[in-house]
Structure 1
């Protein structure tokens, strides 16, 4: 007779019945809650509104908090078997000990999740009966009324019971689950598949009842299949527990701190039960929160780190966005991140851990290699919409030629269920398995889900070397990367940025946060430079305050805050903090500049004069308005000069005579350009008088402000938005502006419920056309953009990124070109022919588009998810059109972008007083100046571990440069250092006749960053 046909569905039904039979409820617990709108400490746990709850009763609204007390009695009649508690409050829960230290995290089974990756709920609490006096149970727990993703699940008590755990059924359940799924994914007809299925079928016949004898016999039937091992492996997987925690996203920052406690305490409990378990977590900011808020929990983490079972991961302070932050910000992310792990755990981080950021700047490889980081892990490129990245393991080469070994787990997730399907998918999908025998698996439930649960670890215990599956070993990721590095000679190289073909909206969403980030980056640069000079004169350097400021700015660069993809509360809170941070920083700049000004020799200047500071490394000659009067000032590189505060009518008259604004003719003119406007305020023509050349393409309209429908979310907008012409703003009125050397037309627009006022400004002697803009934006589901069709033909647009620039195509020849329709740039983009070009500068924008000869800047987006009020607010920003001779290198466009973003800073001298410091500084002084125009000084700061000065420079044009750096301070030694400020080699100092002057020779490779340590 034929064999009985074996079908999967009855076996899956059996598995479901077993799962339901694992826990047997015995008695209800009494649940009492003290509810508060915000978290309160353990000592104040009974300060909220007290309620006693029965299952199904509501205890709060979204984001409410509560301290729960669960009490009950374990009766002597309960058999001496394993007793557990089953707790589910329809939210996230953290059990604590009698001192309030987190013990274990729990998560509602109703959490939203991708159930193909597993079930996110954690509700089981192990009970040691021997430690319970008289059988009485009292458990305290800190609750938050939300699921993993900040959703409201009803706020009701779902379950609070004492139950018996049938360990024999639990073990058999995982035996069957692993074998059944293995068979399901093996090729049909193979002997291994058929034997597993036959064994499972035989077990199903044994399990008519779930009696201990039947369970025992079933386990014996499966034992042979579980003991079968593979042969010599050609492919193996390194598995490390993971719990991806966004520091803010669909929840506020305060909840992240509690998510960390819930997750990390759960990890510790799982480690007690599973000796093979290895877990890893990134982000020093998260560890630092644990240290501050939960010191005893942090001590337990440190012990597991010492054991080697807990792996601190990553090389940045947070898992930062890498598109929008400036270059020095990324350096500080690495500097503070690596120093924290070194100081706290004695560990050197060699891997950048970036699983979820929205694209990867081509500057990163150099930053990593100069920081002792050799590897990078991510998986987000698997989200690209149009083209599949061709590798999971590859060498990533940045704009300067530096390379880092990069790996993307081939399962394309950081929430792996660690199930047989995970192992089989990793082997099947691994794009580099022809040259590599190793891949990484990140298993667990993220977003506060506690990381790995017992299901992950039970599966892995059975999958170590199970026949039919690639072998899996739990180990820290650094061991995996060391093994992968042995294969690096076989990997292909990917050159340039790692562009994510998705989430382009994050270059624009939440414009106010992006503006504050830019302003804070520039203000911190200014403050550090001034503070270094002041420290040279004897003023204490504010190291602690600067580190505090920097770390908060770095926190807000997290990849769901700065990109604009968090909930409204995150931005309500961060905008308040940004304003406070900027005010503090600006106040410190002013105070430090005044201190410096107080050391200038008053015998050479009018004591009522003005000291003008310039932190850029080239001499600047610009119009400056102080005390209501305009003057041309010439300020040396990275230094200052003193100018008289006396009025000079001749200068002011001369300036006015060269600038013109005509409202009726709609035109502006200075010595460089004639600008003509259309009736709607757009630009019909820009005539370059010096070159006798038209800037705007014939028939086009420059500064074409248009509104497009945007039904996307914070991450994405429709790729084909430009297929519609968009809707123009309505010009309400226009008037002239005359202000010394400046002339302009002020255009007042309206659209829907919104208004926008834009002053188009020409300045005498300047080739910059400024568009100074304020907007009261109240639209929903709209984006605002401006476009400039310019009379330039080129296949490339040059875009500033951190520490250099990147060329991108202006055509759409391939799908790779098409996918990069929206591109990131920092202070400028440029279209150039060999002898002429046009740049678009900005002071706080990042989203651009360049197709053929049209430069497009994305100004505002007003999406409705996850923040229903995104960008419905008042905004202020400036962008500038700058046409020039030569290409972007010859025209030194990087300088023009910096000049827009880093203004000269005047300080009015105060009269002498008896307590004035000893005078030392001359009338005008240069502190640092490279003698090549292609070198930018990114930062000047005090060293982290001494009073030495760190100066960071980089090559801006993509070429090799020999230069000499002038140093206007007395220095004893100059050392080349890495980005962590470790000394590499000493440099010869070229002494100068004047004591407080010296020079060093430097050689830069294309886009190279060089950091120096000056011993003063």
Structure 2
């Protein structure tokens, strides 16, 4: 007779029946909560509003907090059973020990999650002795009224019971689950598949009654298919537990700290039950929060790290965005991140852990290699919309030629359920399986934390070497990367940026955050430079304060804060902190420059004098307004000069030298004028139409029109934008957009500056823009103030320039990147919105036009149009995003030659780094000062070499000087110092000495750069 046909549905019903039989409630718990709007300590747990709760009762609103007390008594008839607590408050819970330290985290089953990856809820608590006093139970838990992803699920008590746990049923459940899913992944008709189905069918017949005897018989029946092993593996999967925790996103930063405690305490409990369990977590910031807020928990983590079962991962202080932060910010992310793990755990981080970042700058490979980081892990490129990245394992090469080995887990997720389908997908989808026998699996519940549960670890215990599946071993990722590196020669190379074909809106969203970030980066650069100079004169270098400020700035560069994709509260809090940080930094800059000014030997004078500081590494000649008067000043490279406010006068018989201040009144050979709707200086003539857009920019020297004939420059338009913070429609420009309505125009005259002030209206918003020409300059500035009140709108400006080029050059960190201006392929089409920092440039071989900015990042360059994204007002996740007052400047800069010959990188820095002024102290005699009237402290003699950072070393009094080649060419330079150095070393980005340099003189160093190379110097410089 034929065999009974086996249908899957009864087998799945059996699995469901087993799951429902694992736990049986035996008694209710009494539940009391003390509710507060913000978290309170364990010692203050009874200070909130007291509530006695019953099932289904609501206990709070979104973001409310509470300390819960669960109390009860074990029934006498259940005292010999395996007991657990089942707790679900419709939010997140962290159980505490009698000292208030975290024990275990729980999360509502209602948390939103991709259920194809598993169920997110954690509700089961094994009874610990700390919760028991005889048969009485008392458990305290810190609660947050939000789910894993910050969503409000109703805030009701859903479950609070004592339950017996049928361990035999629980074990059988996972046997059945793994075998059933493993069989589903096997090819039809294979003997292995049919044998498993038959065994499961036989078991289902016996489990009509779930008795201990029948459960034992079922376990025995399934032992055989579970014991069958695989043969020689073609692919081995390295599995490491993961709990991706966004440091802010759909919840505020304060909730992240508690998420860390919930997640990490759960990991520790799971490690007690599963000896093979290996877990990893990145972001030193998160560890530091644990150290500060939960010291006992942190000590348990350190013990697991010492055992090798807990892997600190990373290299960066946070999982930072890499598009918007400046180059030095990325260096500090790595510097502070690696130093923390080295100091706290004695571990050297060799990989960059970046699973969820919105694209990766082509500058990163060099930063990693020069920091001792050889590997990178991500999976985010799997989110691209139009093109599939061709590799999971590959060498990623940056703009300078440095390469790091990069791996994307072929499952394309960091939330793997660690189920048979996970293993099958990894083998099936691994794009490099033809040359690689190793792949990585990140298992657990992430984004909002939580991490692996027992289900992940029970599956892995059965999948180590199960016939029909690739073997899986739990191990830290560093072991995986070392094995992958042995296959390095077989991998292909990807050159340039790793562009994510999604989330282009994050280059513009939350514009105020991006502005503050730019201003903080420049202010910190200025403060460090000034502090190094002051330290040579005996003033204490503010190392601790600088590190504290830097680390907070680095925190706000997290990939859901700086890109603009967090909730309103995150920005309410971070913008307030930014304002305080910038104020603090600017005050310190002023104090430090005042200290330096007090050491300048300026002699007796009858008139006030001002010191002008220049932190950029070239001599600057600019118009500057000082004490109400305009002066054309000349300030040496990375130095200062003294200005007498009696323009052109000599001071105490000392004539101004060429290295000191030159002064000139407006009108002496460099005029600017306005007439009607046009502006003119000695370089350009700008003509405007009736609505304030630019009709013409005439380069007088070249007799060349800059704006394409028949088109408008600075064409301010508003586009419909119904996207969220991450994305806007790719075809937004199919609708031409709506121009602003010009309300008024007036003339501006300020010494050498001439301009037109345009006032516009649009909807509920207003925009005031001052278009300025300065005598002697080609730069056309658009100084803009906006009160933006629109919903679902995007404000952009565009310049159709009279240039033909297949590439637009864009400044990125420590260099620039060429991108296509055509849309020949789907790869070109996908890369429509592009990131640039201080400038983009379209150039022919002998002429070009640059678009500069002081705080914008989202650009578009198609054909001959340079386009800048100014503001977006999306409604999710912040319904008030960018409905605020904004201030920014962008500039059009026509130039001779291409972007390299015109030194466009300098123009970008000059817009972003103003000259600083400080009055000399009002004393009768300062001739004994240690500093001359003018001095350059650092001066490279090659025009393409930029000094990005000057700071004190992290581990001593040496001076760190970071330089880079800006144009993509080989360059040799002599760096002249305005001080004597005892020793000079090439260092890595971690400031470790590598190669000692010969000092031609105590004040000169010869350096040789490869294209876009970063060189870090470590100088031993005696104090004055």
Q: Which residue of 2 aligns with 1:920?
A: 930
Residues 131, 891 of structure 1: alpha-carbon distance in 2 compared, 3 angstrom cutoff: closer
> By how many angstroms is 1:646 displaced?
1.9
Of 842, 853, 872 in structure 1, the residue corresponding to residue 853 of structure 2 is 842
After the TM superposition, which residues 159-170 of structure 1 pair with which residues of structure 2 at under 5 Å, given as runs? 159-170=159-170
Retained in 1: the 8 A contact 2:613–2:917?
Answer: yes
- In the other structure, the counterpart of 2:953 is 943
Residues 605, 924 of structure 2: 8 Å contact kept: no
Which residue of the partner structure matches residue 998 of structure 1?
A: 1003
Question: Residue 831 of structure 1 corresponds to which residue in structure 2?
Answer: 842
- Aligned partners of 1:802, 1:606: CA distance in 2, in Å? 47
1:958 aligns to 2:965 (yes or no): no
Q: Which residue of 1 aligns with 2:672?
A: 659
Counterpart among 1013, 1016, 1019 of residue 1014 in structure 1: 1019
Give the Cα–Cα distance (whole angstroms) in 2 for the partners of residues 923 and 418 of structure 1.
Answer: 69
1:817-896, aligned counterparts within 5 Å? Answer: 817-896=828-907
Distance 1:128 1:693, change over 3 A: closer
Matched, 1:750 2:755: no
Q: Distance in 1 between matches of 2:298 and 2:667?
A: 68
**Is residue 2:156 matched to residue 1:143?**
no
Aligned partners of 1:913 and 1:572: how far apart in 2? 49
Corresponding position of 1:124:
124
Distance verdict in 2 for CA 1:607–1:1012, change over 3 Å: farther
Pick aligned residue for 1:794 from 802, 805, 818: 805
The secondary structure found in structure 1 opposite 2:1019 is: strand
8 A contact 1:263–1:448 mirrored in 2: no
**2:613 pairs with 1:613:** yes
Q: What SS is found at the alignment partner of 1:239?
A: strand
Given that residues 598 and 917 in structure 1 are in contact (C-alpha distance below 8 angstroms), is that contact kept between their aligned partners in structure 2?
A: no
**C-alpha contact 1:121 1:449 (8 A) present in aligned 2:** no
Correspondence list, 1:688-727, <5 A: 688-727=699-738
Deviations 1:23-78 (A, max 9, x none): 00011000000000000001100000000000100000000000000000012211
Deviation at 1:651, TM superposition (A): 3.7
Q: Give the alignment partner of residue 673 of structure 1, picking from 669, 681, 684.
A: 684
- Matched-pair contact (CA < 8 Å) for 2:132–2:138: no
Q: Structure 1, residues 777-832: CA drift from partner, whole Å, max 9, x if none?
A: 00000000000000000000000000000000000000000000000000000000
3-state SS, counterpart of residue 299 of structure 2: helix
| CA shift in 2, pair 1:917/1:552, >3 Å | farther
- Say if 1:129 and 1:825 are closer, same or farther in 2 by CA, change over 3 A: closer
Task: Note the alpha carbon deviations across 1:283-333, whole angstroms, 9 max, x for none.
Answer: 000000000000000000000000000000010000000000000000000
Deviation at residue 553 of structure 1 after TM alignment: 0.2
| Counterparts of 2:212 and 2:669, CA distance in 1 | 99
Give SS of 1:84's match: strand
Aligned mates of 2:668, 2:304 — CA distance in 1: 70
Mean Cα deviation higher: 650-659 or 943-952? 650-659
Tell me how far apart the structure 2 counterparts of residues 671 and 253 of structure 1 sit (CA, whole Å). Answer: 53
The 3 A distance-change label for structure 1 pair 955 and 657 is closer
CA distance in 2, matches of 1:607, 1:443: 72
Q: 1:357-372 alignment to 2 at 5 Å? A: 357-372=357-372
Name the residue aligned to 1:906: 917
Q: Distance in 1 between matches of 2:213 and 2:152?
A: 44
- Residue 146 of structure 1: how far off its partner (Å): 0.3
Secondary structure, in 3 states, of the residue corresponding to 1:105?
strand
Q: Could you tell me which residue of structure 1 aligns to residue 981 of structure 2?
A: 971
Native 8 Å contact 2:248 2:566 kept in 1: yes
Cα offset for 1:134? Answer: 2.2
Q: Does 1:176 align with 2:149?
A: no
Judge conservation of contact 1:599–1:917 (CA < 8 Å) in 2. no
Q: Is the contact between residue 931 and residue 964 of structure 1 (CA under 8 Å) also seen in structure 2? A: yes
Q: How far off is 1:654 after superposition? A: 1.3
Shift of 1:447: 3.0
1:459-478 map, 5 Å = 459-478=459-478
For residues 838 and 617 of structure 1, what CA distance do their matches in structure 2 show?
24
Q: Distance in 2 between matches of 1:117 and 1:471?
A: 20
Counterparts of residues 538-687 of structure 1 (less than 5 Å): 538-603=538-603, 608-647=608-647, 651-654=664-667, 658-662=671-675, 665-687=676-698
- Secondary structure at the aligned position of 2:76 is classed as coil
Residue number in structure 2 paired with 1:994 = none
Q: Is the 8 A contact 1:505 1:715 kept in 2?
A: yes
**How far does residue 606 in structure 1 lie from its aligned partner after superposition?**
6.1
Unaligned ranges ≥5, structure 1 = 992-996
Q: Tell me if 1:133 matches 2:109.
A: no
| Mapping for residues 490-505 of structure 1, pairs under 5 Å | 490-505=490-505
- 1:322 maps to 322
Distance in 2 separating the partners of 1:218 and 1:350: 47
- Residue 346 (str. 1) matches residue 359 (str. 2): no
Q: Distance in 1 between matches of 2:269 and 2:11?
A: 32
CA 464–913 in structure 1, closer or farther in 2 if over 3 Å, else same: farther
Give distance in 1, aligned partners of 2:131 and 2:677. 86
Whole-angstrom distance in 1 between the partners of 2:980 and 2:664: 38
Match of 2:789 in 1: 778
2:98–2:130 CA contact under 8 A, matched in 1: no
Cα deviation, residue 244, structure 1: 0.1
Report if the CA contact (8 A) 1:509-1:563 is conserved.
Answer: yes
Counterparts in 2 of 1:131 and 1:956: CA distance versus 1, 3 Å: closer
Which residue number corresponds to residue 537 of structure 1?
537
Q: In the alignment, is the contact (CA less than 8 A) between 2:670 and 2:776 conserved in 1?
A: no
- Cα deviations across residues 167-221 of structure 1 (Å, max 9, x unaligned)? 0100000000000000111111011100000000000001001111111111111
SS at match of 1:173: helix
1:143-542 mapped onto 2 (5 Å cutoff): 143-542=143-542
Q: CA deviation at 1:602?
A: 1.8
Quickly say closer, same or farther: Cα 1:967–1:657, change in 2 above 3 A: closer
Seen in structure 2, the aligned counterparts of structure 1 residues 448 and 265 have a Cα distance that, compared at 3 Å, is farther
SS of the aligned residue for 1:531 comes to: helix
In structure 2, the residue corresponding to 1:44 is in which secondary structure? coil
Separation in 1 of the partners of 2:364 and 2:666? 50
Q: Secondary structure at the match of 1:602?
A: coil
- State the distance in 2 between where 1:83 and 1:552 align: 45
What is the match of residue 776 of structure 2?
765
How far has the Cα of 1:652 moved from its partner?
Answer: 3.1
Q: TM-score, normalised by structure 1?
A: 0.98
| In structure 2, C-alpha distance between the alignment counterparts of 1:123 and 1:1004, rounded to whole Å | 59
Determine the C-alpha separation between the residues in 1 that align with 2:666 and 2:132. Answer: 91
Residues 260 and 449 in structure 2, CA contact (< 8 A), matched pair in contact too: no
| 1:890-930 CA-partner distances (Å, limit 9, x unpaired) | 0000000000000000111121179x795110010010010
Name the stretch that deviates more: 14-23 or 370-379: 14-23
Contact 1:260 1:448 in 2 (8 A): no
Q: Is contact 1:606-1:644 (8 Å) kept?
A: no
Q: Partner residue of 1:13?
A: 13
Deviation readout 1:332-379 (Å, 9 max, x if unpaired): 000000000000000000000000000000000000000000000000
